[in-house]
Amino acid sequence: MRFLSSILALLLCVLLCQCERKSTVELSTAEKVLIIGNSNEPKALDPHLVSGVVESNILRSVFEGLTNDHPSLDGKAIPGAAARWESNADATEWTFHLQPNGKWSDGTPLTASDFVYSFRRILDPALGANYTDMLYYLEGAQAYHQGKTKDPETIGAQAVDPLTLKLTLSKPTPFLPEIVKHMTWFPVPRHLIEVHGEMNEPHTAWTKEENMIGNGPFQLKAWRLNHKVEVERNPHYWDHENVLLNGIQFLPIKNAFTEARMFLDDLIHVSDKLPAEMIDQMETKFPEMVRKEPYVGVTYVTCNLKRSPFEQASLREALAASINQQAIIDNILRGGERAAYGFTPAFGDYLPPRAVSYQPNEAQKSLAQSTFDQRELHLLITDSEASKAIGEALQSMWQQTLGINVRLEIREWTTYLARRRKGEYDMVLCNWIGDFLDPTTFLDLWKVDNPNNTCGFQLPQYDQLLNKASLTVDPTQRLQTLQKAETELLQFKPMLPIYWRTKIYLKRPEVKGWNPLLLNNHPYKFVDLVPPPQS
Amino acid sequence: MIALVTRRTLQTLIVVFLLVTFTFIAIRLIPGNPLESDKATSSEVMKRMAEPFGFNRPYVTQYLLYWKNLLFKGDLGLSTTLLGRSVSEIISTSFPVSLMLGLTSLIIGVFVGIPLGVIAAMNKNGWIDYLSMVLAMAGICVPAFVLGPVLQLTVARQFDSISAAGWSRPGDLILPAITLSVGVAAYLARLSRGGMLDILSQDFIRTAHAKGLPLKTIIFKHALKPSLLPAITYLGPAFAAIITGSFVVEIIFQVPGMGQHFVNAVISKDPFLLQGLVLFYGLIMGGANLIVDIVIAFLNPRLRETA
């Protein structure tokens, strides 16, 4: 009976609420609380134990690295936890001067020792972090993480005084201020972590909503499983007076169509994506809300060089030249992607060599030069709709242009990853999103010792050129060397580039200070919500 | 009755034990690794990541440890997809949501489906009967992934207090509850129509008519109770299924319920979460079937004697 009464009361509430005309977006705009679609539930909120974009989106609000992203300029580092920084001439020694009023969100001062502690924690082998190669720039970091030494003092990070952090690198890294924006470089609160467990103990309670603290412009307010993660303004943030929002809600909306319907029903300010099927309709109805922005990512097919017949360069040439990239973009993706003529997307001052294009006649000639016996090949893809559509398009293109039969091996995510990691594939459809704005975030994938290089690609001159670039301080010379390396890579073609990605999503006009950024890492402290003028 | 309850409880426990054992084996046999991520990970790091979950131990040890932790500590283990969260925590936060949504849907389903079936039976082969059964068939045939978006695009646009999706306002319950209840109501309508037609053809109903009893008394006093037996039999498993969440409805309406954990646990090969959910679901299903048996025994004197 009580339950029935509750239901009746609920219905009454609904009817009464009908009188209220303000939408969720209007109300939260007035409260300056941004509501964002965030595609999935975060696996965890420990910056040392996660590697996904979903988690990064939240963590960038709660933590802040030594530097921060500029709200509109790509590749420009602005002060974050560090007020200023300088390096020696060959960019191997860096000194970061922390913000004098930098604090954790519980009011405890943030010191250089916190950073040293954080670097040692993520590199501690016992923690089981899998994104540690981001810190291998630090001298001794790789050796410590791989257990070659047990002394954390050998890591090139030193707290000179509470506000001065000195980093010693293993090689010149002029783009270090770009790298330290990444979540793996975020400081974690020693005084909290060690209350809930050992330094190298994974998954302790320090990231629970009632415990977690950070040093970013916002602090964790609520974390409701599969419902929302909510952050609110951090009053102890060093620059809190200039933070424009009062809070952000991250909604784990898994279904892109549900997200679009929520957007249209005024339930969110910014969506995470927009399904290809809805792009045309939305562009017609709400052109000002559809955003198509370049994104540093590439989609490509990797060939397993350890398996016959992929050791034949002419076959790989033929497969690459028979991919009609533009047709895939125009008919399947429809998000303004660019046909990938190289592997690394063009950004900043870096221009990849033009080495790949759709040339069906050349493809047939290349195939004729090979000794391929026309047996069936296999392409490993995930079970996502986009992967299946691209896989089917490739299958059809290779059949039509080259007469090669390709069978699609559709596997769900974890099986796909396991097979890719173990090199159990003929060809595999892959995506790679850059971690930072430097070509090495793409080119390092093909180094002989990179764990992502599972296809057996090894070209000594490629590794030598990358090593040479890593020792070059002059930015122009360095980029030229990287371009040479990519030319070598693309001549060999262990992979067949398809397209460079874009970020397609919806954004309401009330959201200000949210500009196109190549990494899509919007610094939330600059974002504002301004209600539209009353008509 | 005590014997029935004891027997059914024991049966449920055995079934749940077998279910969990089967799940334990199946989730480990299928290819893939729950700790795999798009960030390429060396096998050394993978081993370290597996340590907190005990995956480096032999399967037999893992199995025995699972039951030991469960029986002696009430510990269902840790999720590998939602790191740092225990399975108990995940169930305890998501089950109330599914229960609320499921019970609301079930109530709507019962209050719409059963009267619809009874009215259809009373107007056998008339237009009301045909209309009711067409509606019921439509309710069975239209899947949630069609009905849900249609409701979002029509109803949610019309009423400001009803959201297209979400779980923050009272109105957020309405559309997912309607979507979930349609199938239940449709089945109940067909079952109660069939049950009622069966009872209406019985001798004791003919006798009641011959005695000149009013139709209302015949239906509500003599026919309704026994005619509901098929519907009640269906309600047991339906209750268990509906209160443990629906993946499709939860994804469409952004409901933080238990159904999506079930599917995600399979997709991401999260062994402890899947085992915990299977255990929980098994217990709920066993409990619901036991309640149905008891209710049926009360409604049907012959079965009561057998019990």
Q: With DSSP H G I counted as helix, E B as strand and the rest as coil, what are the percentages for chain A, rounded to 5?
A: 35, 20, 45
B90, A225: Cβ pair inside 8 Å? yes
Ramachandran area for residue A139 (φ above 0: left; ψ -120 to 50: alpha; else beta): beta
**Three-class secondary structure assignment of B135-177:** HHHHHHHCCHHHHHHHHHHHHHHHCCCCCCCCCCCHHHHHHHH
Residue A106 to residues A161, A214, A220, A430, Cα–Cα distance (Å): 22, 8, 11, 42
Residue A421 Cα, gap to closest chain B Cα (Å): 7
Q: How many angstroms separate the CA atoms of B248 and B148, rounded?
A: 9
In angstroms, the CA A26 to CA B293 distance is 52
Alpha helices in chain B (DSSP H): 2-29, 43-50, 59-68, 87-122, 127-141, 144-158, 174-200, 203-210, 215-217, 224-227, 229-243, 247-253, 259-267, 271-299, 301-306
Contact B40 A451 (CB under 8 A): yes
Which residues of chain B are within 8 Å of residue A203 when distances are taken between CB atoms?
A: 52, 78, 83-84
Q: What is the pLDDT along chain A (535 residues), one digit of tens a residue?
A: 454 455 555 555 555 454 456 889 999 999 999 999 999 999 999 999 998 999 999 999 999 999 999 999 998 999 999 999 999 998 999 999 999 999 999 999 999 999 999 999 999 999 999 899 999 999 999 999 999 999 999 999 999 999 999 999 999 999 999 999 999 999 999 999 999 999 999 999 999 999 999 999 999 999 999 999 999 999 999 999 999 999 999 999 999 999 999 999 999 999 999 999 999 999 999 999 999 999 999 999 999 999 999 999 999 999 999 999 999 999 999 999 999 999 999 998 999 999 999 999 999 999 999 988 878 999 999 999 899 999 999 999 999 999 999 999 999 888 899 899 889 999 999 999 999 999 999 999 999 988 899 999 999 999 999 999 998 888 899 999 999 999 999 999 999 999 999 999 999 999 999 999 999 999 999 999 999 887 5
Residue A96's DSSP bridge partners are A85, A165
What percent of chain B stands above pLDDT 90?
A: 58
pLDDT single digits (tens) B225-247: 888 888 988 988 888 888 887 88
Whole-prediction pTM: 0.90
How are beta strands A247-251 and A228-233 bridged, if at all?
antiparallel
Cβ neighbours around A70 below 10 Å, total? 15
Pick the residue from chain B with its C-alpha nearest to A423. Answer: B40
pLDDT of B16 over the 60 cut: yes
Residue in B149, B160, B163 nearest the CB of A257 = B149
Cβ separation A225–B81 shorter than 8 A: no
Using an 8 Å CB-CB cutoff, list chain A residues near B254: 251, 253, 258, 262
Residue A74: both structure tokens together: 């790509």
Distance CA A45, CA A439 (A): 28
| Shortest Cα–Cα distance, B32 to chain A (Å) | 4
> Which value, in Å, is the radius of gyration of the alpha carbons in chain A?
25
Can you state the angle between helices B229-243 and B87-122, rounded to 10 degrees?
A: 150
DSSP A486-529: HHHHHHH-SEEEEEEEEEEEEB-TTEES----TT----GGG-EE
Strand ranges across the sheet with A228-233? A33-37, A247-251, A228-233, A218-224
Of the candidates B30, B160, B167, the beta carbon closest to that of A227 is on: B167
Residue of A240, A242, A276 whose CA lies nearest to A256: A276
Under an 8 A CB cutoff, do A415 and B267 touch? no
Rounded-to-integer distance, Cα A433 and Cα A517, Å: 13
* Interface probe, candidates A130, A198, A444, chain B, greatest B C-beta count within 10 A: A130
How many whole angstroms separate alpha carbon A156 and alpha carbon A145? 13
Note the pLDDT of residue A162. Answer: 96
Tell me how far apart the alpha carbons of residues A424 and A410 are, in angstroms, rounded to a whole number.
13
C-beta of residue A298 within 8 angstroms of C-beta of residue A431: yes
Longest dimension (CA), chain B: 85
Q: Write the single-letter amino acid at A109.
A: P
Residue B282 backbone dihedrals phi, psi, to 5 degrees? -60, -45
Tell the residue number behind the tokens 């909306």, with chain if given: A253
Q: Do B37 and A454 make contact, defined as CB atoms within 8 angstroms?
A: no
Integer Cα distance of B236 and B285 in angstroms: 8
B161 and A21: CB-CB below 8 Å? no
What SS3 string covers A284-316?
HHCCCCEEEEEEEEEEEEEECCCCCCCCCHHHH
DSSP string, A234-300: -TTSTTGGG---SEEEEE----HHHHHHHHHTT--SB-S---HHHHHHHHHH-TTTEEEEEEEEEEE
Report the alpha-carbon distance of residue A491 to residue A281 in Å, rounded: 41
| CB B95 within 8 Å of CB B174 | no
**Chain A residues with CB-CB distance to B45 below 8 A:** 125, 128-130, 132
* Alpha-carbon torsion (A129, A133, A134, A136), positive or negative: positive
Most A CBs within 10 Å, among B41, B105, B266, B269, to test the A interface:
B41
The packing angle between helices B144-158 and B174-200, to 10°, is 120
Residue B69 has a CB neighbour count (10 Å cut-off) of 15
C-alpha B262/C-alpha B252 separation (Å) is 16
3-state secondary structure of A35: strand
| ipTM of the modeled complex | 0.86
| Chain A residues close to B270, C-beta within 8 Å | none
CA distance A328 to A498: 8
Chain A to chain B, count of Cβ pairs less than 8 Å apart? 168
Q: A535 vs A267, A415, A531, A532, CA distance in Å?
A: 21, 54, 12, 9
Burial degree of B305 (CB within 10 A; 0-12, 13-18, 19+):
exposed
CB spacing of B39 vs A227 below 8 angstroms:
no
Of A125, A225, A265, the CB nearest to B256: A225
Q: Give the max Cα distance, chain A.
A: 81
pLDDT digits (tens, 9 = 90+) for B51-70: 889 999 999 999 999 999 99
pLDDT of residue A10: 53
Helices (H), B202-270: 203-210, 215-217, 224-227, 229-243, 247-253, 259-267
